[in-house]
Amino acid sequence: MRIAVVGCGRWGSFIAWFCSMLGHDVTIYGRKSSKKLAQLKEIRRNEYVALKDSIKITDTLGDVVSRETIIISVDSQSLRSVAAELKVAGIKNTTVVLCMKGLEIGSGKRLSVVVGEELEGTGCSIAVWLGPGHVQDFSAGIPNCMVIDSSDNALSKQIISALSGGLIRFYVGDDLIGNELGAAAKNVIGIAAGMLDGLGLPSLKGALMARGAREISRLIKACGGNELSAYGLCHLGDYEATVFSEHSHNRRFGEYVVRKSKGEIVEQNYLAEGYYTAKAIMDVSRETSSELPICEAVYKVLYENEDTEEMLKKLFLRSLKTEF
């Protein structure tokens, strides 16, 4: 396949490396101003992977829209503008795969919906690539399982056939709503886990996982998805990589928030994806009248400067309840 990867960060560069390893003809795109793209152009590698000479590195969208499959891996809040730029560049009848997790702030829309709106009339098909895994592990040869989902089951199977190899075992998803919501929400749960680490309360992660999955299952059902998707690879199945892993940006970000509030000097140069999702998911919560106590607690700490320890005490040390 002739594949273009939009996004040259850690996931974009890995996807380009992975697809090339499978024998595909690969182009990777980044904006002209991107330092990450400049590094790839100069030395064809970053801290995770080294790109083969056969992989084309470009800052021209014209090189992207001519490809039959485009895999997008950018931050969630940039997706709408990226999709609009692809439309202007002339994208037509292309398979677009979103390898990213999140919800749009202001609308609470799932990312496949955002792209669908921007690419309306182009004849493009949209799928999502979700599930657990870290670039650091994949690039070291450690395998994992992931999911491809779309509104077209045949399209999902076609993508899986093209991307299957020994490193990633893909499963066919059958609930686009549930899998996208679950994948986005797990990043918020990851931040909560990091907050527990920062407070020295990692033993409460068991309660966090049990309650988190139940909370998100209610949200998925309220949005028209299958509530059992919260217990699949895209949410509960991704907790190991998000709630416990040293590589998890969201867990590390949650820990950073707590340590910074204690006055510690901690190096931090990014906002984790769950930071944005925590705000967007509150829009969905209000629209669907869904109670999301964990997500709301994370939101209040991040956006309303509530005390982390007090918020988590309210969550885990409140009066007797009969169910999560």
pTM recorded for the entire structure:
0.95
Are 80 and 104 contacting, i.e. CB atoms less than 8 angstroms apart? yes
Mean pLDDT for the stretch of residues 164-168: 92
Share the mean pLDDT of the chain.
95
Mean pLDDT for the stretch of residues 71-84: 97
Residues classed as catalytic: 186
Structure confidence at residue 320 (pLDDT): 45
pLDDT classification of 269: cutoffs 50, 70, 90: low
Assess whether pLDDT exceeds 90 at residue 53. yes
What percentage of the chain carries pLDDT values higher than 90? 91
pLDDT classification of 318: cutoffs 50, 70, 90: low
Provide the β-strand partners of residue 2: 25
**Per-residue pLDDT reduced to its tens digit, 114-132:** 999 999 999 999 999 999 9
134 phi and psi, to 5 degrees?
-125, 140
Alpha-carbon span 295 to 214, nearest angstrom: 12
Helix axes 176-198, 308-316, angle to 10 degrees: 120
Measuring CA to CA, which residue among 274, 318, 324 is closest to residue 299?
274
- Lowest-confidence pick of 49-53, 89-93, 234-238, 314-318: 314-318
| DSSP-derived 3-state class of residue 289 | coil
Greater model confidence, 324 or 280: 280
What percentage of the chain carries pLDDT values higher than 70? 97
Structure confidence at residue 82 (pLDDT): 98
129 phi and psi, to 5 degrees?
-120, 110
Q: Residue 11, exposed/middle/buried by CB under 10 A (0-12, 13-18, 19+)?
A: buried
Assess whether pLDDT exceeds 50 at residue 255. yes
Q: Which run of H or of E encompasses 221? A: helix 205-222
Assess whether pLDDT exceeds 60 at residue 319. no
Measuring CA to CA, which residue among 248, 186, 177, 193 is closest to residue 215?
186
**Per-residue pLDDT reduced to its tens digit, 185-243:** 999 999 999 999 999 999 999 999 999 999 999 999 999 999 999 999 999 999 999 99
Alpha-carbon span 229 to 181, nearest angstrom: 9
18: amino acid identity, one letter: F
All domains in the chain, ordered by first residue: 2-172 (3.40.50.720), 180-316 (1.10.1040.10)
